[in-house]
Amino acid sequence: MSEGGVRQWNIQFKNGHTNVRDEERSAKTGCFLCVGDSQTGIHKRSVYEHNGVAVCSQKRALCIATVVLSILFIISLIIAYAGPQSDCPCAGERPLFLDGNETNGTRKAIPIATNNEIFPWNNLRLPKFVRPIRYHINIHPNLTTLDIKGQVTIDFHVSQDTYFMVLHSKNLTITEKLVTDGKTTCQKDRLGNTTCLPIVRMLEYPPAQQIYIEMKDKLKRKTNYTLMLRFKSRLSRELEGFYLSSYTTQDGEKKYLATTHFEPTYARTAFPCFDEPQFKARFKMSIFRDRFHISLFNMPIINTEDAGFYMGTGLLRDDFQESVEMSTYLVAFVVCDYQHISAVTKKSISVSVYAPPDLIPQAKFALETATSMMDHYEEYFGIDYPLPKQDLIAIPDFGVGAMENWGLITYRETSILYDPNETSANAHQWVAVVVAHELAHQWFGNLVTMQWWNDLWLNEGFASFLEYFGVDHVMPGWNMMEQFVLDKTQPGLNLDALSTSHPISVAVYDPTEIEAIFDSISYSKGASLLYMLDKFLGQDTLRSGLNDYLNIHKFSNADTKDLWDVLSKHANQSIHVKTIMDTWTGQMGFPLVSISKEGSTVTATQNRFLLTPDPQNRNISHPPSIYNYKWYIPLTFFTDTAPDVEEIVWMNMTDVRFEVDNEVEWLKANVNQSGFYRVTYDDATWNFIIAALKRNHTIFSPPDRASLLDDAFTLCRAGVLNVTTALELSLYLLKERDYVPWATALEHFQAWSKYLSEAAPYRLFLQYMKHLLGPTAHSLGWNDTGTHLQKLMRSDILASAVLCDVEETVKEARHQFEEWMTKNIRIPPNLREVVYSAGIKYGGVREWQFCWAKYNNSRVPSERKVLLRVLGVASDPWILQRYLLATLERDMVKPQDVKLVIATVASNPEGRLLAWRHLRAHWNSLQALFGNGTFTMGSLISAVTAHFAADYDYKEVSEFFKDMNVGSGSRALEQSLETVQLNIHWVRRNEEPLFQWLTNYLSR
């Protein structure tokens, strides 16, 4: 029985009788191919023959009817309460090969193929008994007509007898198909079609992006076969699959290239394949191209030959070396006219960076970083990079920051190109971090791949963690591990504090569900848990464990349990890593540790932390957790009497009590915010900590000061801490001169300014911000000098001072803008965002048009990104409206930059409602641009609505999306609605005390 207790029949009629071969097949595969009543041996016609009619009295008929109805009623009750007896993925009975963990992917509706037949496979996951061994892909993309012709030959292994196979295909027209076992002689029929092993039928089911191929004769277990499919398609204009991109040369000529992006489920749009990460195989590639282009693949070219003419153009065919075993989402190929620069690692791996010819000078830093990082990772992991080359390529149109395709990593231009004379320290760091992230994936993700997307964090969490270690190694002066808490821990905590979060290991089946988990939970929380693990296991134990994990599972797949098992072994079983970490990966959220001190006794209690106030009143559902929302917490702390001594107490899903010295006034828990939890203290301890900060803030490290600020402001947002406590704590910032604490504070202050924009304390709050920012801005000055962190801080502080209208800063910034605009006097890279913002915010149409022209003419991607961002800070709604309309024109704003523009306008108080109206008015156009399957639509919803803080805003948003299918954006929509309600509640609760405190303080 299929799900729901209703048997699904695949009906085939053949002269009114059962097809004997179909019965035999159904018995072997478990999927019934039945013929109505004919399986009982009765011909349908006999039911209607006159001699088959029974005659009885009316009374007897009533009795029989009553009995029959009673029996039917009893049967219906049994079915209703018994439920489905199996979770069959076929349109028929449950086959023996189906694993229990696959049943959740079973579709409830009967799948109907494109020819209106029932599609026999009823599961979103592919069957495991057919596994690919090797692909040979021949493909010819025509960059003029956008037509694609291709052929894929798949060698596959069958592990059990079967008459069918299922694989993925989306938006492909299959023109020819054949299956061979390597022994049977293939023949041509009267129509010229080649036939090998006879194929009975091929069905396509677009909702699951699957094709079903049924054989006449059984495919035998433990045997290898070959499937050949020829297909046609078109180069996509979306930023996924095999798609068209373009760039404009210095001379204004538009050049085209074809490139790929297959993660998570887009390989199937380029060629038919087994598009799940567990189906690793080797790949051979042949690409047809014209003589003016080059082609790139995961592996090096081994041969180029003339391939004749096509539409009057002489073609070449590039044949590439066969790859190692890898998942389909890591396959990549590009046809372009780029140039490259190269270097060699210590172990003779060729590293190259490809870019448009005039951008090649900006590729030098990425090449140097990649070469050093490859050497570092090979030494750190203890495993050699297994491919002969590593290419990095800049793609003009790219939906994400970068993609780790094995041996051919694709990047946004802003993620790989760096000009030391034009690029800011922030953009410089971004290039280093993204290069390090993608190279970490060559081991974590590519060499060892998660078994299924529910463990995406094994890929992204590791890369997000290792990128900071990697950059810290090659750029030791950048203090990357201080910045880790700012860029990873804090964003992860923010999202995971919502009731609409999700566990780090989360069940996903549908492609739209898979897209939705590419979020801060998989990336930032995953990285933060590994950072916490590193702290309590020790770097040597973690490193040796990771080396073992990679060696055990290389060229294969793993799940979270495999990682914990290896780490437990390397901790000599003294720490049972799985027991501890399952409480962090198997349930959503994280704990709030509440600390109270009486004399020398400290009590620490744990409860799940939620931003959402009064959950009972908001009808929030809390998914049950087998751990009852308790965690194994490595509670670290130091005290005022021994600030250099870090101690640890384990909270084993419990509360704890421990003793400290009698003379201790305060303790600071979660040292350097290395644990993924928040901490609050009793009032007396908070007061002691605040007094200590004001007296000498350097007794706390920069990450500790950042964590105190982050905890205090977030606890205030949740209603756990009074707003006045957070404000009293923030006063120490008058003396703060370190980047990480200030960046943390600015993040919260900017959020407050957005919530308060229509509230009574708004003007007083801006005045308070000026009061805090003024001394720091003055001390930093306008010389673009100092350490890397000082440059980052100067840019952030001065930009905030401009937006808050700090008079001295605005005056200098406007002066520099005028000098730049009228006299072409160069502005240092780290001051550009500050100066441009001042010119546009306090200027008019003239200043805006000048920057818009600079954006269109600049050949430096990082400069273009800065200009795109500052163009949204204009104060004139008319200008902002014109800017939003530009996002609808591909030639004005690239699709990859649409979200940046809309988000910038939405964060501007003058543009907040304009951005929301734009999203509503052009929802269909934006949906057509990005598609429902990508996470972009969800991020657009979040960007536009995150600042709303009024009841009517919430009502408008919820009403607009009430009956709308937003695909992968559904979780982002839920989170956005929850965030708006949080904002409303926060303003309502804090408006009066905030107004009172600011009035009192500023009057002093």
Question: How does DSSP classify residue 407?
Answer: T
Alpha-carbon span 860 to 839, nearest angstrom? 21
Where does residue 921 rank: exposed (0-12), middle (13-18), buried (19+ CB within 10 A)? Answer: exposed
438: annotated active-site residue: yes
Residue 907's H or E segment, with its range, is helix 898-907
935: left (phi over 0), alpha (psi -120 to 50) or beta: alpha
| Pairing between β-strand 313-320 and β-strand 301-310 as defined by DSSP bridges | antiparallel
CA distance 406 to 431: 19
In the 3-class helix/strand/coil scheme, how is 836-883 assigned residue by residue? HHHHHHCCCHHHHHHHHHHHHHCCCHHHHHHHHHHHHHCCCHHHHHHH
What is the spatial distance between Cα 851 and Cα 847, in angstroms, rounded to a whole number? 6
Enter the tokens of residue 598: 């009486």
Close Cβ partners of 538 (under 8 Å, ≥ 6 residues apart) = none
DSSP character at residue 94: P
Which tokens is 508 given?
Answer: 């996903």
DSSP string, 483-541: HHIIIIIHHHHHHHTSTT---SS----SHHHHHHT-SHIIIIIHHHHHHHHHHHH-HHH
In contact, 1 and 84? CB cutoff 8 Å: yes
Structure tokens at 236: 């996509």
Q: Name the nearest CA neighbour of 24 among 162, 169, 192.
A: 162
* Ramachandran quadrant class, 402 (left: phi over 0; alpha: psi -120 to 50; beta: rest): beta
- Taking the CA atoms of residue 24, residue 29, residue 35 and residue 41 in that order, the dihedral angle to the nearest 10 degrees is 40
Per residue, the 3-state secondary structure of 649-684, as one string, reads EEEECCCEEEECCCCCCCEEECHHHCCCCEEEECHH
- Nearest of 580, 584, 589, 642 to residue 611 by alpha carbon: 589
> Three-state SS across 961-992?
HCCCCCHHHHHHHHHHHHHHHHHHHHHHHHHH
**Nearest-angstrom CA–CA distance, 540 and 371:** 24
297: left (phi over 0), alpha (psi -120 to 50) or beta: beta
The SS3 assignment for 261 reads strand
Strands of the sheet containing 656-659, edge to edge, are 656-659, 601-608, 591-598, 678-681
CB atoms within 10 A of CB 218: 17
Structure tokens at 98: 């189906």
With beta carbons less than 8 A apart as the criterion, state whether 279 and 449 touch: no
> Exactly one of 93, 438, 513, 812 is catalytic; which is it?
438
Sign of torsion over alpha carbons 46, 50, 51, 57 = positive
The helix or strand, by DSSP H or E, that contains position 151, with its residue range, turns out to be: strand 147-158
The CA distance from 143 to 235, in Å, is: 8
3-state secondary structure of 725: helix
CA distance readout (Å), 304 to 137, 315, 318, 319? 15, 10, 4, 6
Amino acid letter for position 250: Q
DSSP state letter for 118: B
* Nearest to 518, CA basis, from 974, 978, 980, 972: 972
Active-site residues, by number, are 438
